[in-house]
Amino acid sequence: MAYLSGKVAIVTGSSRGIGRAIAERLGRDGASVVVTYAGNQEKALEVVEAIKAKGSDAISVQVDMRKIEDVRNLFQKTLDYFGKLNILVNNAAGTNVFKPTTQMTLEEYDSMFDITRGVYFALQQAALHMADGGKIISISTAGTSMSIPTGGAYAGSKAAIEQFSIGLAKELGARGITVNTIAPGVTETDGLVLEEEQVKQMVAQTPLGRLGRPDDIASAVAMLVSEDADWVTGQNIRATGGIV
């Protein structure tokens, strides 16, 4: 029997990239999965069908993480359809803006921090509705500890999520719910925008000798939602191939 059999997982932003890899991995491991998407329903349905093809149940829900009512509706729809919630993976992200502080606009700043606010209220909904013994994971970035010029606002939007998680881990510990973050390094997805020379530089700095892949991050999530990680909470796991 798959080790997540009988569990229900929400994976936000799971129609492509890292989120898709996570959703499909949890499905292969036996969980029923709620796949969320912002605008591409077709891609979300592909993920749903891929999960069902491996023997697990799945549904898709459209969610704009900037709208708190959408976030609340996501949890209600999950409970209405599956009757419970055991796992939440906060993966959804907006447009990441890298600009000097002097050039950042209010609209660009808000485009990142509005998602951060949505993650906070997703954590709130999980705290309200998740079954005891559940698992909460939020995807951050290695950039919170590897600051680069032009990356301050982006890293700040993710660092806040790390702090949300540390605090919530202490609040939910008595219920056996673990709360962690994963900080990926540079990962090959269709959203990666790097010049060839930049890719070579990143690979050269990475002890394991390559960029990350979505499945690498999905494997880290799979580890944290397993019973083997029941004693791991309030942590930020760096899934970076060793780059520091």
Q: How far apart are CA 8 and CA 61, in angstroms?
A: 14
19-23, 54-58, 182-186, 225-229: least confidently modelled range = 182-186
Q: Amino acid letter at 81?
A: Y
Residues taking part in catalysis: 154
For 180, the 3-state DSSP assignment is: strand
Q: Which residue has the tokens 């999520």?
A: 161
For 145, the 3-state DSSP assignment is: coil
Q: List pLDDT tens digits, range 132-161.
A: 999 999 999 988 988 788 889 999 999 999
Instruction: Average the pLDDT over 55-81 and give the result.
Output: 98
Residue 38 confidence (pLDDT): 94
Q: What is the pTM of this model?
A: 0.94
Q: List pLDDT tens digits, range 14-30.
A: 999 999 999 999 999 99
Q: Does position 60 have pLDDT exceeding 80, yes or no?
A: yes
The full set of domain ranges for the chain reads 8-239
Residue 228 confidence (pLDDT): 96
Angle at 26 between CA 3 and CA 39, to 5 degrees: 160
Residue 194 confidence (pLDDT): 62
Q: How far apart are CA 138 and CA 11, in angstroms?
A: 10
| Selection from 124, 155, 133 nearest residue 142 by Cα | 155
Model confidence at 196, in pLDDT bands (50, 70, 90)?
confident
Q: Does position 1 have pLDDT exceeding 60, yes or no?
A: no
Residue 32 half-sphere exposure, CB side, CA atoms within 13 Å?
A: 14
Q: Kindly state which CATH superfamily the domain 8-239 is placed in.
A: NAD(P)-binding Rossmann-like Domain (3.40.50.720)
Q: For the chain, what percent of residues have pLDDT higher than 70? A: 98
More confident residue, 98 or 45: 45
Q: How many helices (H) and strands (E) does the chain have?
A: 7, 7
Q: How far apart are CA 220 and CA 209, in angstroms?
A: 18
Residue 184 half-sphere exposure, CB side, CA atoms within 13 Å?
A: 24
